[in-house]
Chain A
Amino acid sequence: MKRSKMEGMTRTIVAVVLAAATIGISPSVPGQVWNPVKQKILAGSPIVAKRVDSSDPAAYCNIATTPGTDFTWTDMVHSGLEFSYVWSMWASPCATAVARMRGAEIFYTKRVNFITKAYFRAPDPSANELVLKEMQHATDGGAMVIMIQVENLAQAQQVVQRAYYPPIGARDLGPGQYDTVYPASVTGGNYVGTYNDNVVVIAGISTVAGVSQAKAIAAAPGIHALYLDRTNLESDSGYPQGSSDYNKLAQFVQLSALASHKYLCTADRTTTPNTLTCSK
């Protein structure tokens, strides 16, 4: 069993190397971290992001230019944004940007067994299927920070599976605009080969079900941070922020991140644009 697993893994690695060679790229070079957000995570420094909810390139550039911003957080969930507009916005030149990394908050948007996932632990992860399109469009468009709500370990593992290239995950290799959004001057001409070392995945916790599984989610390899979605946790639990019941939930999320030495993110919804802050 172990042997066949090893063989399978070897085959995958060989396939990736061959595929990479075919399209003229180098395989993963560990240590090439060009994403400033990932650099900060490695250094243990705080991270700040600003929310984008319209496809106006000028507004986007304005947000990306805000001092102290590490990445732009394009909200695909609570906006009318479609990827066609977002890709165009992400590709528009913004010479003065300080936040050069694009981040996307995307839907898990699975369709099957929506009922089982929340209440009970589904033993078969395939019963909860992350729709491929969301992650593929976000990453191919240039997202280097992925934010996504999850409620259990199986979902977190699927997110990792979709977010990373092999051998860690199974992100599909194909044409996108990532090479133009992140030119050779940024990536050393090896976006694909260095992507796995640079992508940052933030798991959102917004429900009681998600909180109950937060420890396992935080511990999942490939997850860099938990996002404590305070607004939705309030909505889902029925208790206002600051109340005893809410605090019980929030503290559990904080402790879960802490236990796995992962970042914890929270959003300030009173600012315009909304600000996401992540720290260890």
Chain B
Amino acid sequence: MHSRTKLAKTRLAAAAVVTVAALAASPWVLGQSCPATGCAIPGITVPNGLTICSGTGTNVHDSTQFHKGNQLCNNQPIEPASWVYGPEHDLTPAQQVAPFWNVVTTKMAAGLPVIGRRWSAPDGSDYCSVAPYVDSGPNANHFTWADQRHAALDNSSLWTYWRSNTICPGLTFDTTAAKGALGSSLDEREAQHDADGGGIVFFRPVNSVKDAQEAVFWSFWPPFGHRSQGGAPSNYDTKISQIGAGAYRDSYNMNAVMIAQIATVAGAQAADGIAALDGIDGLYLDEQDLAFQAAGVANYAQLASGVQAAAQAHGKYLCRVNRTANPNVMTCLPSTLLSAADMAKREWPLRRLDGNGMPMGSTRIAGLPRRSN
């Protein structure tokens, strides 16, 4: 049994080497752009799937084998393709099983519905009216979503309200709904500012698999993504310490939630590939906008059912907004494909790339240890 495992590992390592070699010679590597259907090979800065130090065979993430303080893992020339990402942000065994500090993640990991309310006043004056957390019932409210797309909200307002746990009278961290943002773009600026401001549930407009990869890329820390470090919010620290989770930097990737907003014909047509990405936790079927975009061009009903089917097929959440409610209410429901038993033993995505450099597949059933990145 042991040798079989070893053989499998060897095969995996050999496959990785062959893959890297093949990629190095592929025309895509030589400068062809990433197709709209997404890139099927590695590319994000570090996550190349390498864990074994060159020459020594040491697993860099095994503290009994590798001592990060005084041992050198990367003996080879400095190249992102061959760099073995280090253990600095790995979680301890205790942190791996600690509760999530994002209530939305907690609910999603348990396969429960999540519900959130919109705020949009340019000065943020309506935030406190939607901020209270309500666990269940007709007024259930698990997250708030700042509408940066159809409102004049910018990060100066978001930061004011997000970075404090007590800005709304009478509320505390535990009685405040998770902070979410419906972004207007996929660029680094908005992703960085939203995350640094304290956002933890993100909705990003995507039209392709590549768009979805980019949304993930800017919103998550390395090695899964490329979020820059330097302005992390401190308002999660007390909660993190209370529940024994990994530090914000280390446990953020596991707690952040990314929902792909599907509002265009192209986005709907790419929904299956988008839903398949590990960094994507759900699809937001923007019925109003998709119907508007599809009018006279495509069959809305077909597109919408395709989006639903994509979420279902990949075990991802499907979100919809009730625009008649004031404020608008978003409801996200889990795929019904997974049984309650599956959900109960579901492992939260590792937020890493697989051996092919793609964000890891969709829902994972228990069996792998949980790690930070």
Contacts and interface: CB of A to CB of B under 8 A. Distances in A.
Contacts of A79: 196, 231
A267 to B, nearest CB: 9
A250 B356 CA distance: 29
Interface string A45-70: 00000000101000000000000000
A208 interface: yes
B45 A109 contact: no
Interface in B1-52: 29-31, 33-34, 39, 42-46
Given A55-B156, A208-B45, A244-B71, A80 B193 contact: yes
Interface in A184-237: 206-209, 211-212, 231-232, 234-237
A236 B88 contact: no
Interface stretch (B73-81, B164-172, B308-316, B331-339): B73-81
A77 B231 contact: yes
B278 interface: no
Interface string B136-167: 00000000000000000011101110000000
A71 B215 CA distance: 34
A115 interface: yes
A240 B31 contact: no
B73 to A, nearest CB: 5
Interface of B: 29-31, 33-34, 39, 42-46, 60, 68-74, 77-81, 83, 85-89, 154-156, 158-160, 186-189, 192-193, 196-197, 210, 213-214, 217, 221-223, 226, 228-231, 249, 373
Given A82-B155, A123-B31, A236 B89 contact: no
Given A131-B187, A208-B83, A238-B222, A115 B43 contact: yes
B156 A81 contact: yes
SS class of chain B's interface: helix, strand, loop or mixed?
loop
Contacts, number: 165
Nearest to A55: B156
**Which 5 residue pairs across A and B have the least CB separation, nearest first?**
A78-B231, A238-B86, A115-B43, A80-B159, A239-B86
Nearest to B158: A80
Contact of A248 (B74, B80, B81, B214): B74
Given A82-B154, A119-B42, A240-B69, A107 B192 contact: yes
B221 A208 contact: no
Which residue of A113, A123, A249 has the most chain B CB atoms within 10 A of its CB atom?
Answer: A113
Interface in A92-113: 107-113
Contacts of A124: 31
A53 B196 CA distance: 12
Interface in A123-153: 123-124, 127, 131, 134, 149, 151
Which residue of B156, B158, B210, B221 has the most chain A CB atoms within 10 A of its CB atom?
Answer: B156
Contacts of A119: 29, 42-45, 80-81
B45 A231 contact: no
Contacts of A178: none
B186 A236 contact: no
Given A113-B34, A116-B33, A77 B228 contact: yes
Contacts of A53: 231
Given A80-B197, A111-B186, A208-B45, A243 B86 contact: yes
Interface residues of A, number: 53
A208 B79 CA distance: 7
B222 A236 contact: yes
A143 B129 CA distance: 39
B88 A206 contact: no
B45 A240 contact: no
A248 B72 contact: yes
Given A115-B210, A248-B72, A248-B74, 18 more contacts: A55-B156, A77-B231, A78-B196, A78-B231, A108-B188, A114-B214, A116-B31, A119-B42, A119-B44, A123-B30, A123-B31, A149-B228, A208-B79, A234-B88, A235-B222, A239-B87, A245-B86, A249-B78
B189 to A, nearest CB: 5
A241 to B, nearest CB: 9
14 contacts: A80-B197, A82-B154, A109-B189, A113-B34, A119-B81, A127-B33, A131-B187, A212-B78, A234-B229, A235-B89, A235-B229, A238-B222, A244-B73, A248-B72
A252 to B, nearest CB: 6
A174 to B, nearest CB: 22
Nearest to B26: A120
A113 B30 CA distance: 13
Contacts of B78: 208, 211-212, 248-249, 252
Contacts of B31: 116, 120, 122-124, 127
A118 B231 contact: no
Nearest to A214: B78
Nearest to B157: A80
B249 A235 contact: yes
Contact of A115 (B34, B77, B188): B34
Contacts of A113: 33-34
B206 to A, nearest CB: 13
A219 B96 CA distance: 44
B89 to A, nearest CB: 7
Nearest to B228: A232
A242 interface: yes
Nearest to B162: A80
Contacts of A75: 230-231
A131 B186 CA distance: 13
B86 A231 contact: no
Contacts of B158: 80
Nearest to B221: A235
